[in-house]
Each structure stands twice: as C-alpha cells, then as structure tokens.
Amino acid sequence: MIELGADVATELVPLSWLVGLWEGTGVVNYTVDGDVRTLEFGQRLSFSHDGLPHLNYTSYTWLLDENLSPHVTETGYWRLSRPAADGDPGPGMLAGIGPRPFPTAESVESLRNSDGGFDIEVSLVHPAGVSELYIGQVKGPRIDLATDAVLRTATAKEYAAATRIYGLVEGHLLWAWDIAALGQELKTHASGRLARVE
C-alpha cells in the first residue's frame, strides 16, 4: 500500500501507485531496413511529486552489454486531464488566483469518466529532438496511452505515433510500447518489467 503525504495533491490519488523508484530490465525488438534489431536493457524509472497536481517522470536506460553502456532517457509529466481553472498556476510563471481546484478526494471523484477510470495527459520529451503528448486513462492499476501529437525537430529521426500500456502486476510495473517510426506502421517496439526499489 502506498501512503501519500499531506503535501501530495489529491488529484494524484488515481496515479499514486506509480510513485517511487522502479528498476528492472526490458527488451527492444524492432525492424530497421529489413533487419530485426533486438537488444536487452536495464531501466531506472522514477515517478515523484512536488506538491503540484502532476507526477514528475524520468526514465534512464542502459544496454545490458559488458560495459552497461548508457542507452536512452526521457522525462516528462503525468496528470489527470481536466480544464485549467483560475486556481491553477500559469501560463508561464503566473500564480493561480483563488483556491486550487479539486482539493478533496470527493471532488477528484467528479473527474471519473464513463468507463470508471480517469482521463490523463502525459507529456514526454526525448533529448534527440522528439516530444510526445499522450492522452489516455488510468483505471485502477492499469494505464492505456496513445499519442495525440508528436513533435520532432528537423534533426530528429522519423517518428510518427505511439501507444503505451502500464500495469501493476503482482507488485511489478510492467509496460509495453508500440511505435510508428522509420516509415513503418504502429507495431511492437519495447517492453519492460520493473520492481519498486524505494
């Protein structure tokens, strides 16, 4: 059971099972120029909070080779999907006016969707010039996401869309990631199994 401190925004309760540091391994299997490329990697994934109604997310991976070579990283934010209110900070550095919205568990329940889950938004940034905006839902210990937008710099590799699934299974965080990239349709790309380390 995860216990949230008093400084945690109530909007994070549906996502609270993610909070913490996770570590484990995964595999990539993707076709590039007709060749199937398979590799195994280690991963350290962190979900943290700072008192605001979002989770901070970072992922660092390394190859499971003899040197444990650094592989890829990504960072971002996870939050419940809802219209911005006067009490929310922004845009930019502007302070919110009035009380923060959804201060109680009962008020957060009003955000539950017709499927019994909560709609969420996830923004991820990759250092190689790709930014992803996912929309989806959290329903108990399962999260389903699909890209709503992918932005690429002129120097980034071709990448068009993605889906991700996360689930808490027997105390482990399992995830799978499908991508449409390098001129290919959406298909299996990578998956992992992580255990909580703190």
- Whether residue 45 lies inside any domain: the answer is yes
- Whether residue 85 lies inside any domain: the answer is yes
Q: Given 3-state DSSP classes, what are the helix, strand and coil percentages for the chain, each rounded to the nearest 5?
A: 5, 55, 40
- Whether residue 4 lies inside any domain: the answer is no
pLDDT tens digits, 8-63: 789 999 999 999 999 999 999 998 888 999 999 999 999 999 989 999 999 999 99
Query: What's the pLDDT score for residue 198?
Result: 72
- Whether residue 5 lies inside any domain: the answer is no
- Whether residue 25 lies inside any domain: the answer is yes
- Secondary structure element (H or E) that encloses residue 107, with its range: helix 105-109
- Domain residues for the domain of 57 are 10-196
Q: CA–CA separation, 103 vs 124, rounded Å? A: 26
pLDDT reading at 102 higher than 80: yes
* 145 touches 122 (CB < 8 A): yes
In the beta sheet, which residues pair with residue 169?
172
- Whether residue 2 lies inside any domain: the answer is no
CATH number at residue 44: 2.40.128.20
Number of domains in the chain: 1
